[in-house]
Homo-oligomer: A and B are copies of this chain.
């Protein structure tokens, strides 16, 4: 692995585990058994590390967010999309959990984080719209608007909310995706509901 990638991997892990505010660059250098000067050679400021990690997330989210030629019309397509999106957000969860710190320390990144959120909402609206057009989802456009905002809220804030739940509750990405998918249940036709119930048995013990 290249040094830059090794630095980013370790930074990502420390930000996720210990919190963005609490990890200075010196701590990252120590963890990597690297001199502060060597780290400085690759990344001059903590902001550059955060920025580069955000760019990675943007790049990796792109295939999920880009409109594809494939029409997703079944519940399990949407389920797969949500599961993949949650896994990606979980991987970069420091950006969501520490959003207040990131936005106030690095205001230049704020528009990019907002754009990622807006595109997520648009993508969910598009997928739900396709399902509605195919008759898989029985919801009008104003219902889809509320749903998409709510799903994005749950997606971005799940890992913050999870901290407030009792410790014995499963709060992993699969459970999160199930919770979000459940929002669709009342709008689904019978076979869709059955599929959500099948998923339910997998995630809720």
Contacts and interface: CB of A to CB of B under 8 A. Distances in A.
B157 A153 contact: yes
Interface string A157-183: 110110111100000000000010011
Given A150-B179, A186-B187, A156 B161 contact: yes
Residue of A19, A114, A160 with most chain B CB atoms under a 10 A cut-off: A160
Interface residues of A, number: 38
A143 interface: yes
A158 B21 CA distance: 22
A161 B157 contact: yes
Interface stretch (A42-50, A55-63, A80-88, A100-108): A100-108
A157 B200 CA distance: 24
B160 A100 contact: yes
Nearest to A152: B161
A148 to B, nearest CB: 11
B153 A21 contact: no
